[in-house]
Chains A and B, each alone.
Chain A
Amino acid sequence: MKRTQRILSFALAALLLLPMSAALAVDDGFSATYTYNYDYWGDLRESPDAYRVDQVVYSRSLGLDVPMRKPQSLYAKGSDLYVCDTGNNRILQLRRDADKQFSLVRVISEINGAEPATFNSPSDIALDSAGNIYICDTNNNRIVKVDKDLNYLQSFVKPLDSTFDQSLSFLPSRLVVDSVGRVFTLATHVNKGLVKYEANGEFTGFVGANTVKYNLWEYIWKTFFTTKEQRDQQAAFVPTEYENICIDKEGFIYATNIVFSEYDLMSDVAKPIRRLNSIGSDILIKNDRYPPIGDLEWVEGTNDYGPSKFKDITVLDNDIYIAVDRTRGRLFGYDPQGIMLWAFGTKGNSEGAFLSAISIEHMGNDLMVLDENESSITVFTPTEYGNLIYRANDQYLKGDYDGSADTWREVLKLNANYNSAFIGIGRALMRQEAYGEAMEYFKMAHDRQNYGRAYRYYRKILVEKNIGWIVAVVAALLVIPLVIRKVKGVKEEVEAYERRKVAH
């Protein structure tokens, strides 16, 4: 009986799916699980696409004579996109026109008035608010600052300070410039944090060193039970270097870290994404059940096994940050509360897949991802679904809570598994004093704090409305036993009296 049922239901499902399979068969490079999110239990839930490929920019489509070789970094400012073509010792400046088409503006391979005038493996670039260009000229051991016409202004070189190990060569690999012209750079083999320069080029120390973590047992083992040769073979107790940095509009630096133990991820000891304040403490907000670590699970026995390793990160204007993972070629978007908005991407050669994503930038809400080995820039634009999520977040930040709830309802129509939508609607309902309904939405999203808050109001109203009944029941519980006892007492007295009367 059961089996026939199963066969029948399977046939029915197949029939229903038949018209859909034609639509699914159109291969646009997006498999069924391209975009996803994680639910409360940490299980992967497929979702509609939040982003789709708008175009892929190759050396050929830009009309470059010498194709890009091992490009390392992207930088976007206004409609300009700078690409560090590291392998060719040059920098490409692209511009996006109104039709979102990229064209080459100029190739920067020389600067005026500096010695040497050419670059050697330039690996990162940044612009300050005045339009001056800062270039990490890695193998020339310098960061050069030039104006927009490429006239040399200043250079930031190896600090001649005792805190900087003078035996190391200075190899700046990534840099950011803040609003007052201070430069923060990641230098290879420097594990004390970001190297910080004032606007006048003066080295003023390190910011945000990774703290070293080891437990007591590890310490005892390494100190007393291993020989010097063994110790040299093992990983030393040194802080690790950051992988990449980016600066948001408030001047906080987002840093990613890819050297950690897999077991430290869930307990949030590893902290692969950090937001550093001016004294270098991590102030990233984490209000979700899971910390922002990218993938929560991975399939054993596959090539791309292991935790997500964030090669780069970018922060949108609304404080949503997006990190790009090298392990599985995925992009992870998080809102300012640390809640995952979406995740998508895969490894491969097709559109929207990466071989070795290395850098990410944004123009508005559009994303550009640089692939090192493919030497291509993939441009993503948000879909209707992605735009709805952004709009709901923006409306909430602006204080338009009801409008935000309406947008979240639209999101739920496209993806009924979206937790933030339930919370957003629940919040709006709570403001409208529909506490009972709000509780249902919060429960759906497993949001305990908000559920508790709504429940307190709900309970208060319930008690106030039924206070008469409650008092009556409590009074009855107190009075009735008294009455019963009294009646029993009287009865016994009467009986005793009767008995005595009979006896007399």
Chain B
Amino acid sequence: MNAAKSLTNGASPAERRAGWKRYKASMRYGLYVIFHPFDGFWDLVHEQRGSLPAAHTYLFLFLLTYVLRLMLTNFQFITAPIQYINVYEQCGSLLFPFLVLCVSNWALSTLFDGKGRFRDIYMAMCYALVPYILIQLPLILVSNMISFDEAAYYQVLGSVSVIWCVFLVFVGLMQVHDYTPGKTVIFLFFTVFGALVILFLILVFFSLLSDAIGFFVSLYREIAFRLY
């Protein structure tokens, strides 16, 4: 939080320098976390080694990697109809479920006796995306240097990046909430269920809202017709 404040314009140069230093340290900490997940995620939240700006940066880099991958990967390895792809839509379709899962996780952590706050959960989830960025960005370059027969290497590395991320999410949530592995599995299951409930509520809300607006619009029209 200090880092975020000290990066704003109101801060003195010294504060700003300190904030910048802390931001860099928390970014570099992402590299430590992915190789030492158990220690890493514990210290990330309990020892204040991570920071929100770094988490935002990683999330942004993740989205950037995803979009670049769609656009620049050699056509031998990806079937992406470039002419139909909408970058904002792609980002939204990643960001929205990500945030819904975070919210659902946070909401359910109360029931499951979790220790994590919302910003801890968000930070852990963002730091867990680092392997995807580190592997997929170079893979874009590699895809343009290898041929279709060598696709196996490309696919193995791609799978590793995803599996690594999933593992980190698991460990991250476990450490943030101070759970046992078994409890984390059940908790993740309920998190997905909770996300579905949230989506359902959003749908219901918007359909009711449009009904309500429709009612007032027709009421207004009715009155307008009667009066004039």
Contacting residues of chain A (441-492) with chain B, CB-CB under 8 angstroms? 443, 446, 448-449, 451-453, 455-456, 459
Q: Roughly how many angstroms separate A451 CA and B144 CA in the complex, as a whole number?
A: 12
B interface, over-half SS: loop
Cβ of A41 under 8 Å from chain B: yes
Contact B148 A451 (CB under 8 A): yes
A455–B144 Cα distance when bound, in Å, is 10
Interface status of B12 (Cβ within 8 A of chain A): no
Docked Cα-Cα span, A449 to B145, in Å, equals 15
Once the chains are docked, how many angstroms separate the CA of A443 from the CA of B82?
14
Nearest residue (CB) in A for B145 is: A459
How distant is the Cα of A453 from the Cα of B146 in the complex, in angstroms?
10
Is B147 within 8 A of A459, CB to CB?
Answer: yes
B81: Cβ under 8 A from any A Cβ: yes
Complex interface: chain A residues within 8 A of B150 (CB): 452
Name the distance in Å between A454's Cβ and chain B's nearest Cβ.
9
Q: Let me know if B147 and A455 touch, CB within 8 A.
A: yes
Q: Which residues of B contact A451 (CB under 8 A)?
A: 75-76, 147-148
Measured between beta carbons, the chain A residues less than 8 angstroms from B47 are none
User: By the criterion CB–CB under 8 Å, are A456 and B149 in contact?
Assistant: yes
Complex contacts, B145 vs chain A, CB 8 Å: 459
Q: How far is the CB of A40 from chain B (nearest CB, A)?
A: 9
Closest to A455 in B: B147
A452 near B76 with CB under 8 A, answer: yes
Give the bracket for the number of chain A residues in contact with chain B.
10 to 19
Inter-chain contact B75/A448, CB cutoff 8 Å: yes
The chain A residue with its CB closest to the CB of B149 is A452
Q: By CB atoms of chain B within 10 A, which of A443, A446, A455, A456 has the most? A: A455
- Asked if B81 and A41 sit within 8 Å, CB to CB, the answer is yes
Verify B148–A443 contact, CB threshold 8 A: no
Interface string of B143-180 (1 = CB under 8 A from A): 00101111000000000000000000000000000000
Q: How far is the CA of A453 from the CA of B149 in the complex (A)?
A: 8
On whether the beta carbons of A453 and B147 are closer than 8 Å, the reply is yes
From B75, B145, B147, name the one whose CB has the most chain A CB atoms within 10 angstroms: B147
Give A451's nearest chain B residue, CB to CB.
Answer: B76
Q: Are A448 and B76 in contact (CB under 8 A)?
A: yes
- A residues near B81, Cβ cutoff 8 Å: 41
CB distance from B78 to the nearest CB of A (A): 10
Q: What are 5 A-B contacts with C-beta separation under 8 Å?
A: A41-B81, A446-B75, A452-B76, A452-B147, A452-B149
Q: Which of A159-214 contact B (CB under 8 A)?
A: none
Measured CB to CB, the closest approach of chain A to B100, in angstroms, equals: 30
State in angstroms the CA–CA spacing of A455 and B149 once bound together.
10
A456–B151 Cα distance when bound, in Å, is 13
Q: Inside 8 A of B147's CB, which chain A residues have their CB?
A: 451-453, 455-456, 459
What is the distance, in angstroms, from B157's C-beta to the closest C-beta of chain A?
17
CA–CA, A357 and B150, complex, Å: 48
CB distance from B148 to the nearest CB of A (A): 3
Give min CB distance, A465 to chain B, whole Å: 16
A-B CB proximity, top 8 nearest? A452-B148, A452-B147, A455-B147, A448-B76, A456-B147, A448-B148, A41-B81, A452-B149
For B148, the chain A residues whose CB sits under 8 A away are 448-449, 451-453, 455
CA distance A440 to B3 in the complex (A): 50
CB A453 to nearest CB in B, in angstroms, measures 7
